[in-house]
Amino acid sequence: MRLATWNVNSIRSRLDRVVGWLDQADIDVLALQETKCRDDQFPAERFEAAGYEVAHVGFSQWNGVAIASRIGLDEVEIAFPGQPGFDKDAETSLLAAPVVEARAIGATCGGVRVWSLYVPNGRTLTDPHYAYKLEWLAALRDTGARWLAEDPAAQIALVGDWNIAPTDADVWSPEFFRGRTHVSQPERDAFNAIAAAGFTDVMRPFAPGPGVYTYWDYTQLRFPRKEGMRIDFILASPALAARTTDATVDREQRKGKAPSDHAPVVAEFADR
């Protein structure tokens, strides 16, 4: 099984690139983030024509996650249990209800429970979105730990754009990012707590870094200057992690005309 995750930064803008890459890279399951469209705008027919079933959730031009699979797409679930919402009007209204955003979708593909996740950005260390990010990650940790407690042999993949660089080796300049989101200790602690719950970063053994990045900002020529961040991950449950045979970043997909600012992460798992 070849599983990939890719923040495409608008599926409608990258559709030809993404569908072409699926065939080129021989991908069985692709988790997408930042599709930036409503469900009725998602180009499912292009994926279906290529032999993939698709599940998507998107409410507006923001966020949006999807899973495309050619090996089955069963038990689709929007939002993980306990996923918190974000009250964007919290500072001006005590009556506003938190909105559960389009940031998580799960499906069983070839016997593996795949979750496509778009972790909140955090914005700044003092922004309400930062507290929301930590709450969101804590809820995911609790839910993931419960899944493994209920079934230690579960085949689960938590994949996507985590908006966290877990170590200094995962950013081009620790000094540049000092005092910013993505590298703060609470964020790193939240990421490590999910690892402690039993989920393994399957790519780290194959590409320990430094200099192995998945995201390069569009500004300041970050990509040609190799000034990136590693913030996209495939975290696998113990039973699934044990099947890992390879994992890599397809850096070539950050090149060319109108690329996403992220590159896809691909992991390969042996048959059971």
The angle subtended at Cα 84 by Cα 137 and Cα 80, nearest 5°, is 75
68 by DSSP, 3-state: which?
strand
Residues 53-82, mean pLDDT to the nearest whole number: 97
What pLDDT sits at residue 47?
A: 98
What per-residue confidence (pLDDT) applies to 90?
54
Confidence of residue 1 (pLDDT cuts 50, 70, 90): very high
pLDDT, residue 96, reads: 61
Pairing mode, if any, of strands 156-161 and 112-118?
Answer: parallel
Report the distance separating Cα 234 and Cα 99, nearest Å.
26
Asked if 105 contacts 33 with a C-beta cutoff of 8 angstroms, the reply is no
pLDDT above 90: residue 222: yes
Helix axis angle for 185-196 and 128-150, nearest 10°, is 10
User: 180 with 192: CB under 8 angstroms?
Assistant: no
Which residues participate in catalysis according to the annotation? 118, 161, 262
Work out the pLDDT band at 209, boundaries 50, 70, 90.
confident
Give the residue numbers of the binding site. 7, 34, 161, 163, 261-262
Q: Which residues are annotated as a binding site for Mg(2+)?
A: 7, 34, 161, 163, 261-262
If you average pLDDT over residues 189-213, what whole number do you get? 95
Average pLDDT of span 236-263: 97
Cβ neighbours around 142 below 10 Å, total: 16
The closest of 183, 178, 99, 111 to 136, measured between CA atoms, is: 99
* Alpha helix ranges (H) inside 151-270: 174-177, 185-196, 238-241
Please give the average per-residue pLDDT across 100-106, as a whole number: 97
**Helix or strand run (H / E) with residue 149:** helix 128-150
Report the pLDDT value the prediction gives residue 94, as an integer from 0 to 100.
53
Average pLDDT over residues 52-69: 97
Whether 168 shows a pLDDT value over 90: the answer reads: yes
pLDDT at 246: 98
Selection from 195, 194, 199, 170 nearest residue 182 by Cα: 170
Please give the domain boundaries of the chain with CATH numbers for all domains.
2-269 (3.60.10.10)
| CA–CA distance, 155 with 113 (Å, rounded to integer) | 6
Give percent of the chain with pLDDT exceeding 90.
93
User: 89 or 147, which is more confident?
Assistant: 147
Q: What is the mean pLDDT of residues 191-196?
A: 98
Amino acid 98: pLDDT = 84
What average pLDDT does range 86-95 have in this prediction?
Answer: 61
